[in-house]
A and B are shown apart, each in its own frame.
Chain A
Amino acid sequence: MNAPVPNIFADAMRTDTRPLPQWLGRRRADAAERLRAQGVPHRRVEEWKYTDLKTALEPANAAIAATAQWSIANVPAGVTLFDLEDLSAAPEWVRAHFGKAVAGEAMAAASLALAHGGFALHVPRNTCVGEVRANFSSDGHVRALIVLEEGAELTLIENQSADGTFRNTGIEIVVGANARLTHVRSAEASPKAVQVADVAVRVARDGAYRAHLFNGGAELSRLTLRMTLKDMGASAELSGVTVLGGQLHGDVTTHVYHAAGETRSVQLFKHVAGGKSRAVYQGKITVARGADKSDSRQTAKALLLGERAEADLKPELEIFADDVKCAHGAAVGDLDADSLFYLRARGIPENEARNMLLRAFLREAVDGIENDAMRDTFWQSVEDALPRAMVNAL
């Protein structure tokens, strides 16, 4: 057993003496142990190389032990909403899934160990409901659990508010067989906050998880998205746009685990970094032994608008199976000179041509949103963030 690493979260846990239901005791204790052993992630931990959380969070303040706020705008008929503040009354579906997918992730462990609240949503078998809008705000840790039973469908629209100084959101998503979850996430630009989120997704046979992620960045911002495609036919499709300016930082780290054969994942991430900002994308794909005929595609591209902006794109493949298709590509650059000349030669002034190409670059990662209104709203977030990224860029 390694000696415990002193850290601000472990200190916070010592003063937390609330009673726990028996079913959660073991999971929370494991999380606490994990956190104590691992400490707060910092840049010498490979997965956090570009995001030094430890330095950003010290010295500790009250925020790191608080529980963040959440709100749900609407609960469609057929959906059950459960408040995680009172776990003693948890229904079976919460007991079955809550706190199970934190292994190995210090910040997921931190939110499980320290959050005193959050919400859980349940969509019963073969129930297709519209959208649920969830908002996270203020300081501290918060948890959420979304369970889609077999054949269920839901669109989750998640917003991370710009307020507060520190927020750590831990979300678990369980997509049952043939179920389909669309997750549209928007993190507003938060220049004065450290924002961390861990989303753990498990997808059963022929289930589908689709995510469209907008990241406006923060003083330090990290989204870890871990997906396990655990049965044949399961799929994950991700598209994301990060637009940063000023001194903002935005790290999106994904890990797709193809646990079974004939599973499929697609990722398309576009980043625009201006000013002195830093965009990070780390995308790891693991194809487990026996997960034959899996198909995984991953593309990450970044445009740098400022000489002092930085983008770090790190694709990573681990393949233990046979007959798999894995394609990945990453590129950091400037706008395409041939395209720029073509537009200018047709009379479009340089600034306007650059604007067109910049939007076209991002558009590709937005056009996959099926619902018109959602796509428009998502695009508006991109538009709102662009001026900050383009200061002094043209």
Chain B
Amino acid sequence: MLDIKNLHVAVGGKEILKGLTLSIKSGEVHAVMGPNGSGKSTLAYLLAGRAGYEITQGSVTYRGEDLNTLAPEERAAKGLFLAMQYPVEIPGVTTLTFLKTALNAQHRARGEKELDAMSVLKFVRKKAAALNVSEDMLKRALNVGFSGGEKKRLEILQMALFEPQLAVLDETDSGLDIDALKLVAEGVNALRSPTRAMLVITHYQRLLNYIVPDRIHVLAHGKIVAEGGKELAHELEAKGYEHIAGKAA
């Protein structure tokens, strides 16, 4: 599904990722853990295609295609989804209108039939109920005045609607209390499937109690410094990043 080989990425001329290698297969859930400044968000934004992130060396292959040649909207249409750490507030665009526009843009790009307003509404309502996304939220301007939890729930709702092949979750746990975290994790777990891969990026082990990964990669200073199964998260929690990163170095 996703093959990252010796990836070096610079932002504003400064190298942030320094030879990252990572591979995820269909049906797998991987976690990337790391301290602040290790390059986690850079990896997330690079995968989604944000401007200003330059690959200086190495490659990212997504379902056999060089990801670097695709615009952000093409990646989305091809099934890549990034749940963002800081979802953007857009006044003047209602949430439902945005969901409909995005959903139909992806359908159009894949040559699928577009949905009419009524079908979109039904589809959204069905998925929204499970994530406790209220009718009121759908009518309001996108993310405007939403609480931290509401924003994250809306990100997961989008993931449920777009049914991506590869979902990247960037710090989805940040700013959530335990109830909100459980709700979001349930939403994510409901989407686990043999045909879908997930990359969960997080600073804390907490989220991984609820979304249990098949494999954990520890990122420090732009490189993977340790890898292992789900038990690695507990070791990190107990001993800290410096211990693991230091051992690797």
Contacts and interface: CB of A to CB of B under 8 A. Distances in A.
Interface in B160-193: 162
B59 interface: no
B109 interface: yes
A80 interface: no
Nearest to A337: B51
B3 to A, nearest CB: 21
A191 B105 CA distance: 36
A367 B91 CA distance: 11
Interface in B113-154: none
A336 B90 CA distance: 10
A345 B49 CA distance: 8
B102 interface: yes
B38 interface: no
A276 B105 CA distance: 32
Interface stretch (A87-95, A139-147, A350-358): A350-358
Nearest to A338: B88
A106 B75 CA distance: 59
Contacts of B105: 346-349, 352
A208 B93 CA distance: 30
Interface string B52-64: 0000000000000
B76 to A, nearest CB: 4
Q: List the 6 shortest-distance A-B pairs measured between CB atoms, nearest first.
A: A360-B92, A347-B76, A347-B106, A344-B72, A363-B92, A346-B102
Interface of A: 336-339, 341-350, 352-353, 356-357, 359-364, 367
Most B CB contacts (10 A, CB to CB) among A338, A350, A364 go to: A338
A350 B101 contact: no
Contacts of A341: 48, 50-51, 72, 88
28 contacts: A336-B88, A341-B48, A341-B51, A341-B88, A342-B87, A342-B90, A344-B71, A344-B76, A345-B49, A345-B72, A345-B73, A345-B75, A345-B76, A346-B98, A346-B102, A347-B77, A347-B105, A347-B109, A348-B73, A348-B101, A349-B105, A349-B109, A352-B105, A357-B93, A360-B90, A360-B92, A362-B92, A363-B92
B142 to A, nearest CB: 9
B104 to A, nearest CB: 9
Most B CB contacts (10 A, CB to CB) among A336, A339, A345 go to: A345
Contacts of A357: 90, 93
A46 B241 CA distance: 63
A360 B91 contact: yes
Contacts of A367: 92
Nearest to B90: A339
A346 B162 CA distance: 9
Contacts of A344: 49, 71-73, 76
A259 B103 CA distance: 53
Nearest to A364: B92
B88 A342 contact: yes
B101 A356 contact: yes
Contacts of A347: 73, 76-77, 102-103, 105-106, 109, 162
B20 interface: no
A343 B69 CA distance: 19
Given A337-B51, A347-B76, A359 B162 contact: no
B158 interface: yes
B51 to A, nearest CB: 7
B67 interface: no
Contacts of A353: 73
Contacts of A345: 48-50, 72-73, 75-76, 82, 84
